[in-house]
Amino acid sequence: MSGIRTWIACASLAALSLLASACILAPGKFDATLDLRRDGHFSFTYTGQIHLLALSELASMANRADEDEEFVEQPCIDDEDFEERPCTAEEAAQQRDEWEADSAARKQRAEDSSEAMQALFGGIDPANPQAAEELAQRLQRQEGWKRVDYRGDGLFDVEFAIESRLGHDFMFPTLERFPMVNSFVLANLRQGNQVRIEAPGFAAQGGGNPFAGMMSGMAGMASVAAGASGSGANLPKIPDLDGTFRIVTDGRILANNTDEGPAETPRGQVLEWRINARTQSPPMALIALGD
């Protein structure tokens, strides 16, 4: 069991190092619309939930698998028949000495994880109870964020709306001072006056959202760690994915992966995707602009 705990702690910390390469955001209940005109003007709105996955809680669970338990003497193995046997006093003392000798390394791992999390959160300490409010205030200073209300457990209720001209790529969301953020919606401007639109954040399964797979694996390891250590640690809460994403355009739709194709409206053609926990492929469309 001691070896299993050690493996879990190492695997969890390795996963955390991968998670530290991006700020993990997840949509919950939402409604989002990208309106793209053939002259390049566009507007984008997102109303609903955004969940900032609690990496600090994941880090603490990984550390608890290695730190929080008290020393427990492990059975010794007989050299002849390889059966378990009671340890001698000298062997038990050696086990305790080795466990205590590793305390400095455990403390250093915890400090390294804390520093990595703060760097990931743009200098905000995610373990600080005021971190969420500080982040909400920072977002409200950015263009487009009309409302940012913190609901607890990493869940924000937001309204976002922006208008511009697509002379460059567009990504939502962006967070000031965060080194990297996984995107919900991407619009990439191609040569030949074409725009490829993808929504990698609006897929829960398969290859559509690699962060969801990473989170599932991490949560699984954390669950095993909690069970092995008897800590009963709470697993991070991941919101239910439930929303609608639509593209409205008077441009020419060259490709899309909707089930029913475009529908005609007074504003132009509309592509619509219903997103839920069973959605495997992220929304995609290729649109030609100009006359």
pTM score of the predicted model: 0.69
Residue 255 identity (one-letter amino acid): A
Q: How many CA atoms lie within 13 Å of 34's alpha carbon, on the beta-carbon side?
A: 27
In this predicted model, what pLDDT tens digit does every residue of 93-120 receive, in sequence order? 998 888 888 877 767 766 666 666 666 6
**Average per-residue pLDDT for the chain:** 78
Among 46, 98, 81, 51, residue whose Cα is nearest residue 212: 51
Q: Where are the domains of the chain?
A: 2-288
DSSP single-letter state for residue 181: B
Cis peptide before 173 (omega within 30 of 0): yes
DSSP single-letter state for residue 256: E
Among 218, 193, 172, residue whose Cα is nearest residue 25: 172
In this predicted model, what pLDDT tens digit does every residue of 129-153 receive, in sequence order? 677 788 888 888 999 999 999 888 7
Q: Alpha helices of 27-102 — where are they, by DSSP H?
A: 55-64, 89-101
Q: Residue 206 pLDDT more than 80?
A: no
Residue 95 identity (one-letter amino acid): Q
How far from each other are the two terminal CA atoms of the chain, in whole angstroms? Answer: 68
In this predicted model, what pLDDT tens digit does every residue of 148-205 receive, in sequence order? 998 887 789 999 999 999 989 999 998 887 766 788 999 999 999 999 999 999 987 5
Contact between 113 and 56 under an 8 Å Cβ cutoff? The reply is no
Phi, psi of 120 (to 5 degrees): -65, -35
